[in-house]
Structure 1
Amino acid sequence: MSPTPSPDRRSARSRPDRRRTGRGSQARHNRPRQERGASAVGRRFEVEVGPVAHGGHFVARAESRVIFVRHALPGERVIVEITEGTDGDRFWRGDAVEVLEASPDRVTPPCRYAGPGLCGGCDFQHVALPAQRALKAAVVAEQLRRLAGLDVAVEVEAVPGDVDGLRWRTRQRYVPLPDGGRGMRKHRSHEVVEVDECLLEAPGAPSYDVRGHTFQVAAGGFWQVHPGAPEALVGAVLEALAPQPGESVLDLYAGVGLFTRFLADAVGPDGRVASVEGDPAASRLAAANCPEVTVSPGDVGEVLAGGPAGLGDEWDTVDLVVLDPPRVGAKRAVVEQVVARAPRAVAYVACDPAALARDVAIFAEHGYRLVSLRAFDLFPMTHHVECVCLLTRK
């Protein structure tokens, strides 16, 4: 796969208790987009579709310009209609509105609201499930190659809890309509498509029971939406770190303590675990879910740097670290605070391959290498994928 730019640089991880919004970022978001030439919206081109790009798009070219195309597949010949862009833009966005030569991986979307100009929630309903996972694996591998200089074989694993990629979303939000109906938003738009149901929505309420422990979670607070996610991620983190009795562990961006609980069990009464989470409500629940651990509410970077809510001197060195940051990643300041504590191993849980690759490159600057990576299909029918990486000192 040739390196391609990412068309989605402004997305934030969909965690209600993890959003990082500031006055500056809000101002940039609300600033009207400056037009750079005549609009290309509505223009159509016949194109051959190239590789998948980070963000659920595919790369095509027309008039010497890159087009990020939705609803397509590599190798297809399609008619693309431009949905965003002007003559002065470096790239355009578009939808494949007609398929002239179809990929063998193309299927009929199970949902009648999936397609150009309709609900924007699913990127890959037109793709067979095995091919969806292969596309996600290609994106993870390409980001690690381009941003971290690593060649890593990636396989995206299915997890129990969905039905052929459907009925897995245990928390679902619709847009209420004035007539009492409900809808979903179009891709990158405030426009709403009225829907009868979302085929991703799971029946029943989410379960907060994992491996014999029941977790308290705030209404609207973050919890993995795929029913198989907590078990899969806990298993992957424990397998990667192999925590031993008596060891010390930092669980960063710990939420309500999903990993904290099982790390504390593993290191036992002679070990110690500290949980750091920026959301006050989640931190209070982490203290209830994991009463024997040190819980430090506050911004992870500030806590690690020794601010008012900083950890004590006994946490200047640790054996293990779990990083589960928001979509933007941990970033340099946090990574450097982690490596300063000289852990023997770090488990990094990531929902954004680009942010993961950038942080892995920073770890490499400080002598930590990527030892293993597992990727999980926790969001079927979308481009999202969750990774668990193990980093150790060289």
Structure 2
Amino acid sequence: MSRPSARRPRARTARGASMVGRRFEVEVGPIAHGGHCVARVEERVVFVRHALPGERVVLEITEGTEGDRFWRGDAVEVLIPSTDRVPAPCPYAGPGRCGGCDLQHVGLPAQRDLKAAVVREQLRRVARLETDVEVEAVPGDENGLHWRTRQRYVELPGGGRGMRKHRSHDTVAVDACLLEAPHGPSYDVRGRAFEVATAPDQAASFWQVHPGAPEALVGAVLEALDPRPGESALDLYAGVGLFSRFLSEAVGPTGRVAAVEGDPTASGLSERNCPAVLARAGDVGAVLADGLPPEWARADLVVLDPPRAGAKRAVVEQVVARGPRAVAYVACDPAALARDVAIFAEHGYRLASLRAFDLFPMTHHVECVAKLVKSR
């Protein structure tokens, strides 16, 4: 299952005087990947948070110098609001406050429309595909809140807790986060119990934080692959074996499943969670190249569930070399998905279907399950 990766702003060389704090009145353009909209100040692109397409706002520059190709900013005053704008439910959301949520100022249906627009644009721009996208709601949250079954706060000096500001190590003191669920995660899916490393002295195994995510993703993957008795299936970036377990049951005793996972703790747990599955720990590309028995030179089905950076060319080419009839690609980053779909296309695989799920309401993140099949 997809693992989030921490992104810190890169140190940038100043190109002239700082623009931070300067304010401009602008008309906001389309949504862009990353939780912001695009605006222009004298032909300079500005990525604006806390805005909506079509709004007229006053933006304040938060990052950038005179010579930069683009700037970043916050909408600090809304002059002409969008009909999709709503009051943020959290008192800590907004310019200069907690950076955890990108879209609290947007109604939930419109949030999903914006996420769908981002997925469509990435596929159009990177993979040259025109694709219908609908972002589906998933049971388990309360109007987009109380879905984070694991939550971390920053411990503040003198007591109390806080959250980080956007692209910063600075903190905002909070009483509680409205995304935090009232209970921890359940590791039971479709009547099957999974063992997951959660103790403080263990490397925590990845498990989706939205309570409805495992069921939604298992259903989408099985729908995409339609596994049949006797088939062979590779589960790549397999985590603790969520997909492997159900693939193994579907292909039955005459079929076979191999699970490849980079984290040795998670891979060991996948062996316990899926006793009929061949588990291999190690870099996915390296294991595919030289870490599986000869019979795995071919595979009927493949699940790809890479981290945010995506599978990338080396892994995609190892997958297509095995000639699967179908690939289910689980992606938490639309840009990485689009890039890898384009690589699959180079090797004769087309995007047959795409489902998208709102597993991270109030944020810009969206989870996709793409089905890829041979086009020739």
TM-score range, shorter chain: over 0.9
Distance in 2 separating the partners of 1:142 and 1:155: 13
1:229 aligns with 2:210: no
Instruction: Give the TM-score of the pair, scaled to structure 2.
Output: 0.96
TM-score (norm 1): 0.92
Which residue of the partner structure matches residue 229 of structure 2?
245
Q: Report whether the alignment pairs 1:160 with 2:133.
A: no
3-state secondary structure, aligned to 1:92: strand
Pair 1:56 & 2:57 matched? no
> Could you say what the CA RMSD is over the residues aligned between the two structures, in angstroms?
1.3
Mapped partners of 1:321, 1:206: distance in 2 = 27
Classify the secondary structure of the residue corresponding to 1:390. Answer: strand
Which of 104, 117, 123 aligns to 1:125? It is: 104
- Alignment equivalent of 2:332, drawn from 343, 351, 354: 351
Contact 2:9–2:167 (8 Å) recurs in 1 = no
- CA offset digits 1:171-213 (Å, max 9, x no partner): 0000001121000000000000000000000011110000011
Confirm or deny that 1:208 pairs with 2:187. Answer: yes
Contact preservation (8 Å) 2:29, 2:53: yes
1:283 aligned partner:
267
CA displacement at 1:392 relative to structure 2? 0.3
Question: Aligned equivalents of 1:183 and 1:166: distance in 2?
Answer: 18
Partner of 1:8: none
Name the aligned partner's letter for residue 96 of structure 2. G
SS of 1:103's equivalent in the other structure is coil
Out of 50, 70, 74, the position equivalent to 1:71 is: 50
Corresponding residue for 1:146?
Answer: 125
Task: Decide which of 2, 6, 20 is 1:41's aligned counterpart.
Answer: 20
Q: 1:169 to 1:30 in 2, by over 3 A?
A: closer
Q: 1:329 maps to what in 2?
A: 310
Q: Distance in 2 between matches of 1:30 and 1:386?
A: 23
Aligned to 1:376: 357
Counterpart for residue 238 of structure 2: 254
**SS at 1:288's partner residue?**
helix
How much has 1:31 moved relative to structure 2?
A: 7.2
C-alpha separation in 2, matches of 1:121 and 1:33? 23
Gap regions ≥5 residues in structure 2: 199-203
Deviations 1:319-357 (A, max 9, x none): 000000000000000000000000000000000000000
Q: Aligned partners of 1:49, 1:103: CA distance in 2, in Å? A: 10
Q: Distance in 1 between matches of 2:284 and 2:323?
A: 17
Give per-residue Cα distances to partners, 1:260-314, cap 9 Å, x unaligned. 00000000000000000000100010011001110010000000111xxx00110
Distance 1:142 1:244, change over 3 A: same
Matching residue's letter, 1:153: D
1:365 matched to 2:346? The reply is yes
Is 1:96 the counterpart of 2:111? The answer is no
Structure 1, unmatched stretches of 5+, are: 1-12
1:33 CA displacement: 2.5
Amino acid at match of 1:266: A
Aligned residues: 369
**After the TM superposition, which parts of structure 1 deviate over 3 Å for at least 4 consecutive aligned residues?**
29-32
Q: Amino acid of the residue matched to residue 108 of structure 1? A: P
Identity %: 77
How far apart, in 2, do the equivalents of 1:63 and 1:42 lie?
Answer: 17
